[in-house]
Amino acid sequence: MMSGPQERDIGIVVVEPVDRQEPDRNSVTGKRGLSRTAVVALCVGGAVVLLGAGALIYYLFFQPEYDIVPCEDVNLSYPYTMVDTEQRLCYDEDGVEITAPSESDEYYGQDAQYTGVGASYHDNLDGTVTDMSTGLMWEQSPPSDTVSFDGAADYCTDLDLGGYDDWRVPSLKALFSISLFETGWPFIDEDYFTLVDVREEKSQQYWSDQFYNAGTTHGGQDSAFGVNHGTGHIKAYPDGSDGGDIAWKYCRCVRGNGDYGVNDFTLDPSASTVSDASTNIMWTSTDSGATGLDWSDALSHCSSLSHGGYDDWRLPNVKELHSIVDYSGVYPAIDTSLFEVSDPTALCLYYWTSTSAYMSPTDTVMYYAWYVAFGYAVDDNGDDTHGAGAVRFDTKYAGGPSAEEEENVYNYVRCCRDMDTTV
């Protein structure tokens, strides 16, 4: 989401040291929302709810000089705020860092050229972290032991942390909200979140509560989705509900804002657009057509598009495109009563994003770009290994460096833009 916030009956008491010198990240990227401050409480309907006892104790005991921002003076964003990827640099198809292209240049319209609402984390000093941009409170340090899909639910239900006992396994869209694409490997802000100390970064796989309803993976096994904070991917893992293999993953619990990740779509048939009031993003209801595009052409397709009376379309970043995935069990994994899919029977319905990627910590050239699989996410044998709704990356052009599976260069495109709002 790139536009301004709406006023809601929710506010935040922000307690910020007057003399605190923070880097002005907005001057570099424009990608931060509220500044990272010492937040004492959240106001809901005029009632004050403490976000963390640690913050209050710090305030009472140390009593530094503070400015108080009243609840009525603070606006939050939308129910499903799109937290920016934080990707700051531009790249060509060979992964070479380039100066931000102008509108007439090749590679114009990539992720780093659009600024959104950044995560605004607060360490509550009690083992929890609150994201002021989403209203979600997170467990800061996950347990070091892996658990099954069912075990994750049991763990979060039993968790008593920070004075709260209403923890839950995060939805997939909530869990993806804390993914950070500024550098990657790991894809999470380690200034605020602790990762389990494992040797292999690919093992930083965390359960969501999302069962894979549209099929099976790994040779026909019932599965559930998770986010890999080491590699950035979303994929489905066997959950053992069919008596088959059980994948053992990590778990990080969440609480608050149960509506996060819930869309509020409205179709405008005359304009062939779909507006999401929850994210403040408008989408083309049609895609780019049955002929796939490479990454450079995908960028150009959206940046030059005139559609529905608008000409400010862009190729969505990876978080934006993931926001419209439908995990209810429909196939393709999108609401086809709203969004047209040019070839709904195709095995692979991969859609490009504007966000670049690299293969590993030992291969850091941004040869790749992220895509979202609205169809099955298959291996080299055509078997659904990752699940419809998976998020992965591939090389940006034909003959580019090989990714983990068979090269998928010519993919589909669905464009987006910020909705027009009056605040």
Secondary structure (DSSP) of 350-379: EEEEEEEE-SBTTB----EEEEEESS--B-
Q: What is the pLDDT of residue 136?
A: 95
Query: What's the rounded mean pLDDT across residues 10-23?
Result: 35
**Percent of the chain at pLDDT exceeding 90:** 69
User: Residue 403 — very low, low, confident or very high, per pLDDT cuts 50/70/90?
Assistant: low
Position 400 pLDDT exceeds 90: no
**Percent of the chain at pLDDT exceeding 70:** 80
Q: What is the pLDDT of residue 25?
A: 28
User: Residue 199 — very low, low, confident or very high, per pLDDT cuts 50/70/90?
Assistant: low
pTM of the model: 0.84
Give per-residue pLDDT as tens, 128-149: 999 999 999 999 999 999 999 9
30 within 8 A of 117, measured Cβ to Cβ: no
Q: What is the pLDDT of residue 143?
A: 96
User: Residue 347 — very low, low, confident or very high, per pLDDT cuts 50/70/90?
Assistant: confident
Euclidean distance between CA atoms 154 and 151, whole angstroms: 5
Position 72 pLDDT exceeds 70: no
Q: Round the average pLDDT of the chain to a whole number and report it.
A: 84
How far apart, in Å, do the first and last CA atoms of the chain sit? 14
Position 358 pLDDT exceeds 70: yes
The values of phi and psi at residue 296, to 5°, are -60, -45
User: Residue 162 — very low, low, confident or very high, per pLDDT cuts 50/70/90?
Assistant: very high
Q: What is the pLDDT of residue 418?
A: 96
Top mean-pLDDT range of 12-21, 315-324, 412-421: 315-324
Q: What is the pLDDT of residue 78?
A: 83
The encoded tokens of residue 393 equal 């990356």
Q: What is the pLDDT of residue 73?
A: 35
Give per-residue pLDDT as tens, 103-132: 999 999 999 999 899 999 999 999 999 999
Position 8 pLDDT exceeds 60: no
Query: What's the rounded mean pLDDT across residues 76-88?
Result: 89
Which range has the worst mean pLDDT, 51-60, 71-80, 160-169? 51-60
User: Residue 91 — very low, low, confident or very high, per pLDDT cuts 50/70/90?
Assistant: very high
Burial grade of 191 (CB within 10 A; 0-12, 13-18, 19 or more): exposed
The contacts of residue 420 (CB under 8 Å, 6+ apart) are none
The encoded tokens of residue 361 equal 């910590």
User: Residue 54 — very low, low, confident or very high, per pLDDT cuts 50/70/90?
Assistant: very low
Give the single-character DSSP code of 147.
B
